[in-house]
Amino acid sequence: MDDTFNSALSVQEGIEQPSEVNPYLTKRQPKRELTADECVEGILRGDRVVLSRAITLIESTKPEHYAKGQEVIERCLPHSGNSIRIGITGVPGAGKSTFIESFGTYLTTQGHKVAVLAIDPSSERSKGSILGDKTRMESLSVNPKAFIRPTPSGLTLGGVARKTRETIILCEAAGFDTILVETVGVGQSETIVKSMTDFFLLLLIAGAGDELQGIKRGIMEMADAIVITKADGDNQLKAQQARNQYQSVINLFPANDNGWQVPVTTCSVYDQSSIIAVSNLINRFAEETRANGFFHLQRNQQLVKSFYEWIDFSIKSRFYENTEVKQLIEKLLPQIQSGHITPYQAGHQILENH
């Protein structure tokens, strides 16, 4: 199953780079676009070069790529879903890349095929942290059982979410059984990652006193497990103390409706057993929630939710992008703010004719 990954070519190209920043890829990249058939066949036999190019296709904003991209997704759908999707977020300094490098490598030694995707809302501006991804996970990026894909760039937050969900489908169809979706940056992307993953991992570090400081409100409550990283050397005791503190805060939260008790554990990339422990607890989560039906239920809910979210988003964009609507809003907002009309009166005026 993994023999398709053994050539140096595949390994290199597994890390998709836009052609303008990777001269090697430019030389090798064939001019001809792959057909939908070629994409699907390549993906299903686990060819990472084809997978990369198919992802590029669905990320394309060119109208002529749209139908083909959707056909590829549709034909991959029946082969998708057989995976665990793990969301990973962390406070700055928690060593997220180092953790993923170590955790992902361990998973590949256990026979898993690991895809690492990233959700980075800031990529809208910065055009993605592509070089970052390459240098951040040196050993995983050349691991034949791993596939690292930077966040799609030049999209809105909603667009990033959609493309990442579609990328997950293609990766799963290509045989990747463990999907790691990491947040890049802090703040906006956690909810999105949570909405497309089965398990949500929060990486924290031992701080100085005010342990909750700096974690965005609500993120702790999303977590299915909290891992205090860098629990090594002089830091070990502090990490253990932080673990206890977080555990007592977590215990104050109401119980989850899936029956899962959120564990707080410490971890060091220098201690393989602590990495194994994280893997084991995720396995236990998957087993338990598959048995009690929550795993399937959550995926179903995520599908339905993203359907409605997408419709809501689309009808809103359609409405607010209407030129007359824009002008009316511009005219009415100051009147609302100065208290001359109520928000409802203004709303009625706009909706009457649009």
Q: Closer to a second copy at the Cβ: 15 or 215? A: 215
| Residue ranges binding a second copy (CB under 8 A) | 70, 73-74, 77-78, 80-81, 162, 165-166, 169, 210-214, 216-218, 221, 249, 251-254, 300, 303-304, 306-307, 310-312, 314-316, 318-319, 332-333, 336-337, 339-347, 350-351
Instruction: Decide: residue 51, CB within 10 A, 0-12 exposed, 13-18 middle, 19+ buried.
Output: buried
To the nearest whole angstrom, how small is the minimum distance from the Cβ of residue 196 to a second copy? 11
Q: Among all chains, which residue has been given the structure tokens 């890390």?
A: 15
Q: Closer to a second copy at the Cβ: 6 or 300? A: 300
Residue 145 backbone zone (phi > 0: left; psi -120 to 50: alpha; other: beta): alpha
To the nearest whole angstrom, how small is the minimum distance from the Cβ of residue 262 to a second copy? 13
Give CA–CA dist 275/330, Å, rounded: 54
To the nearest whole angstrom, how small is the minimum distance from the Cβ of residue 28 to a second copy? 31
To the nearest whole angstrom, how small is the minimum distance from the Cβ of residue 319 to a second copy? 5
Q: Residue ranges of the alpha helices (H) in 112-268?
A: 123-126, 130-136, 157-173, 189-194, 219-222, 236-252
To the nearest whole angstrom, how small is the minimum distance from the Cβ of residue 167 to a second copy? 12
Say if residues 155 and 172 touch (Cβ distance below 8 Å).
no
To the nearest whole angstrom, how small is the minimum distance from the Cβ of residue 168 to a second copy? 11
* C-alpha 157, offset from chain centre: 12
Q: Closer to a second copy at the Cβ: 111 or 259? A: 259
Q: Closer to a second copy at the Cβ: 30 or 254? A: 254
Question: Alpha-carbon dihedral of residues 260, 263, 268, 272, nearest 10 degrees?
Answer: -50
Q: Closer to a second copy at the Cβ: 237 or 351? A: 351
To the nearest whole angstrom, how small is the minimum distance from the Cβ of residue 201 to a second copy? 19
Q: Closer to a second copy at the Cβ: 253 or 270? A: 253
Q: Closer to a second copy at the Cβ: 280 or 345? A: 345
- DSSP assigned state of 262: -
What's the chain's length in residues?
Answer: 354
To the nearest whole angstrom, how small is the minimum distance from the Cβ of residue 162 to a second copy? 6
Beta bridge partners of 181: 87, 117
Q: Closer to a second copy at the Cβ: 65 or 134? A: 65
To the nearest whole angstrom, how small is the minimum distance from the Cβ of residue 3 to a second copy? 28
Give CA–CA dist 195/276, Å, rounded: 26
Give CA–CA dist 236/242, Å, rounded: 10
Say if residues 96 and 88 touch (Cβ distance below 8 Å).
yes
The count of C-alpha atoms lying within 13 angstroms of the C-alpha of 155, restricted to the half-sphere facing its C-beta, is 18
Give CA–CA dist 241/326, Å, rounded: 54
Q: Closer to a second copy at the Cβ: 15 or 332? A: 332
Give CA–CA dist 5/339, Å, rounded: 65
Query: What six digits make up the tokens of 239?
Result: 């990490």
